[in-house]
């Protein structure tokens, strides 16, 4: 039944033929991928990772660099980006989880690694072009039955590409979460000591959650770079991490839909009321504070609570 919820999104661009609105949706879809995947480690496994934006940014750089250096297609370039993200997640995750870093210690150490990645990209001028960032001129091609290879260029093409990517992310997350893996994540989140005495390998499942979340963020990063056509080191910054956390907290971290709703509100709102960067940061901060104070379960979490009570 939940599949039907996606149908309006496919009809929407036919009804609303405004590039402005579609652009907001495209950004929302891409950031929703980042938020949904972040919620895998944060909301479902209970570990506050500050590396998520870094995984997103690193993958954005690797996809762009691979395309410009080796003249391969976007899809081919996505492979090394995801592989490298998985590799680096395993290394960082192993360090954190072997030393049993929890709560703020885990957050601080992952933040340190994320800053390390940002500083490397910022200072590796010969490859990454430093603060100036990289222009990404290529666009992905998609094979459509009957129409052959189509270049994804206009808003409509990107709308459907990112929508499908979001649906696939949601599908992967929901399949994982309803399986025994999801039960192990929940056990770790709810009571780590008990989970361990029940035979759950904490290290393995935390690492799996962290790696899977980062790998999905890598896809979002690649899409983002190619959609906007430009990447810069700030994509790996703490602000980007905080934006993603705000989306998850606003929407609610107990569901998959929550972060998507959060991504839509926090991406759409600044565009609709036309805010500058600083004003946008203030808005994010306000939304975050109000959500934590008034709706600790997030918007979707609160709605579900009402539905259950009714």
Partner 1 sequence: MLLEVIDLTKRFGGLTAVSDMSFAIAPGEIVGIFGPNGSGKTTLLNLITGVLAPTAGRILWKSAEIQGHSPHAIAAAGVVKTFQTPQLFLELSIYDNVAIASHLRLQRQFGMRRLAELLPWRDAARHVAVMQRIDSILTLCRLDGVRDRTAASLSYGQEKMLGVAIAMMCEPELLLLDEPASGLGEDEIRTLEEVLRDLRDAATTLCVIDHKVDFLARVADRAIALQQGLVIAEGAPANVLQNPRVIEAYLGRQHARA
What residues numbered 193-252 form the site for partner 1, per CB under 8 A?
Answer: 193-194, 196-202
103 binds partner 1 (CB under 8 A): no
**Among residues 33, 48, 152, 187, which is the contact residue for partner 1, using CB under 8 A?**
187
2 binds partner 1 (CB under 8 A): no
Applying CB under 8 A, the span of 30-38, 144-152, 175-183, 229-237 interacting with partner 1 comes to 175-183
176 binds partner 1 (CB under 8 A): yes
Closer to partner 1 by CB, 121 or 200: give it: 200
Applying CB under 8 A, the span of 65-73, 152-160, 191-199, 235-243 interacting with partner 1 comes to 191-199
Question: Of 210, 215, 186, 214, which is closest to residue 200 (Cα–Cα)?
Answer: 186
User: What's the Cα-to-Cα distance from 245 to each of 9, 107, 146, 218, 285, rounded to whole Å?
Assistant: 24, 12, 41, 17, 11
190 binds partner 1 (CB under 8 A): yes
Query: Please, what's the b/e burial string for 107-128 (b: 16 or more CB within 10 A of its CB; e: otherwise)?
Result: bebbbebbbebbeebbeeeeeb
184 binds partner 1 (CB under 8 A): yes
274 binds partner 1 (CB under 8 A): no
153 binds partner 1 (CB under 8 A): no
Q: Give residue 53's region: left, alpha or beta (phi > 0; psi -120 to 50).
A: alpha
DSSP letters for 219-252: HHHHHHHHHHSEE-GGGGSHHHHHHHHHHHHHH-
Q: What are the residues binding partner 1 (CB under 8 A)? A: 171, 175-176, 178-181, 183-184, 186-187, 190-191, 193-194, 196-202
């Amino acid at each position: 039944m939940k599949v039907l919820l996606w149908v309006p999104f496919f009809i929407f661009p036919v009804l609303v033929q405004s590039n402005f609105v579609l652009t907001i949706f495209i950004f929302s879809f891409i950031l929703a991928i980042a938020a949904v995947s972040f919620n895998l480690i944060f909301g479902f496994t209970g570990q506050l990772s500050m590396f998520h934006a870094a995984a997103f940014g690193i993958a954005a750089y690797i996809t762009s660099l691979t395309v410009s250096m080796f003249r391969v297609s976007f899809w081919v370039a996505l492979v090394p980006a995801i592989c490298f993200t998985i590799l680096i997640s395993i290394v960082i995750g192993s360090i954190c989880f072997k030393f049993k870093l929890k709560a703020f210690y885990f957050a601080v150490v992952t933040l340190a690694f994320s800053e390390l990645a940002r500083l490397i990209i910022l200072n590796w001028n010969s490859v990454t072009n430093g603060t100036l960032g990289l222009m990404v001129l290529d666009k992905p091609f998609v094979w459509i039955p009957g129409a052959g290879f189509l270049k994804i260029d206009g808003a409509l093409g990107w709308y459907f590409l990112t929508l499908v990517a979001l649906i696939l992310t949601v599908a992967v997350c929901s399949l994982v979460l309803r399986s025994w893996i999801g039960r192990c994540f929940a056990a770790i989140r709810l009571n780590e000591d008990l989970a361990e005495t029940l035979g759950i390998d904490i290290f393995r499942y935390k690492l799996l959650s962290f790696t899977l979340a980062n790998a999905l963020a890598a896809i979002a990063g690649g899409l983002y770079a190619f959609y906007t056509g430009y990447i810069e080191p700030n994509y790996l910054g703490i602000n980007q991490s905080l934006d993603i956390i705000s989306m998850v907290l606003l929407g609610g971290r107990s569901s998959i839909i929550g972060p998507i709703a959060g991504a839509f509100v926090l991406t759409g709102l600044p565009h609709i009321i036309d805010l500058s960067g600083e004003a946008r940061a203030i808005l994010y901060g306000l939304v975050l504070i109000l959500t934590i104070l008034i709706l600790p379960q997030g918007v979707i979490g609160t709605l579900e609570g009402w539905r259950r009570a009714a």
